[in-house]
Structure 1
């Protein structure tokens, strides 16, 4: 099912006690992410997966998460276009984060202080190059979403 930014924002505004949310293979804007964060202050787990095709680079959604979801404990961003700057923002804004999944976030380079910070803080850290074998959607699903046949 595909949902619009407006539909997702409207639904989130009616769910202030929401603690877990998963959005997969559904492009939404940073504004919708911000609305979710502001409307659902108890959000503890956010899965925002396979959002962009390979080569897409953008920290907008990462910054929106950092600014509006301070209570997150679990964050999965499989296939997101964030960079080290976006990851830094998340680490700075989400102080309770203990599970971080960055698989297929190929613009993130976990090195130096950033890697140390992640390793020290996270109880469970999935690196960008870790295999996504346990993820329920396949690469073919992603290819269909971004490259539909005519």
Structure 2
């Protein structure tokens, strides 16, 4: 069988025992380094070393969807592994730990990076600045349900002028006023339902 790329979906695996590890070993081991997409179940619990192992064996990775919880060590393991994924185009994360370093490494190493999804309780100013200053060419940004200050959203909009899709639905902290609407005027899909001031 000839194939250029392979996808590995772990949507149905959320155990912390050896089942996930065995599946990774089996699926990635048979891929001959051609895995381009890895999607973890939100409740998957990764072990230390698994992301680094994936990075060594999947140099052609284009999409990585991470679980909802990763330990401090594993979050930085992700940041370090970014350097090996030169073809990475899309990343979904649910933690701010190590995210500034991750964004910096994406900026330096992933020239085709286009899509970032960040699902966290609050986008802080440092992360907003990192997105706006280091990812100016991204096409899609998803910040659903994350609180973000108005000034931080402005930083992102001013920095990411190539955005084609922006999702800030149910984002607390800001409202779409005239300035924001003007900054977002060139964005083809601007989802902002439930976008409002306050707690």
TM-score, normalised with respect to structure 2: 0.56
Query: Which fold has the larger relative contact order, with Cα–Cα distance below 8 Å and residues 6 or more apart in sequence?
Result: 1
Residues 20, 129 of structure 1: alpha-carbon distance in 2 compared, 3 angstrom cutoff? same
Of 74, 90, 110, which aligns to 2:140?
Answer: 74
* Alpha-carbon RMSD: 2.0
Structure richer in strand, relative to its length: 2
Counterpart of 2:192?
127
Counterpart of 1:59?
125
Uncovered stretches (5+) of structure 1, i.e. residues with no partner: 131-150
Which of the two has higher C-alpha Rg? Answer: 2
Of 40, 43, 52, which aligns to 2:110?
Answer: 40
Uncovered stretches (5+) of structure 2, i.e. residues with no partner: 1-44, 46-69
Counterpart of 1:143?
none
Q: Which moved more, 1:85-94 or 1:33-42?
A: 33-42
Counterpart of 2:97?
28
TM-score, normalised with respect to structure 1: 0.72
Determine the C-alpha separation between the residues in 2 that align with 1:106 and 1:33.
23
User: What is the deviation of 1:26?
Assistant: 3.0
Counterpart of 2:85?
15
The number of equivalent residue pairs is: 124
Determine the C-alpha separation between the residues in 1 that align with 2:178 and 2:190.
16
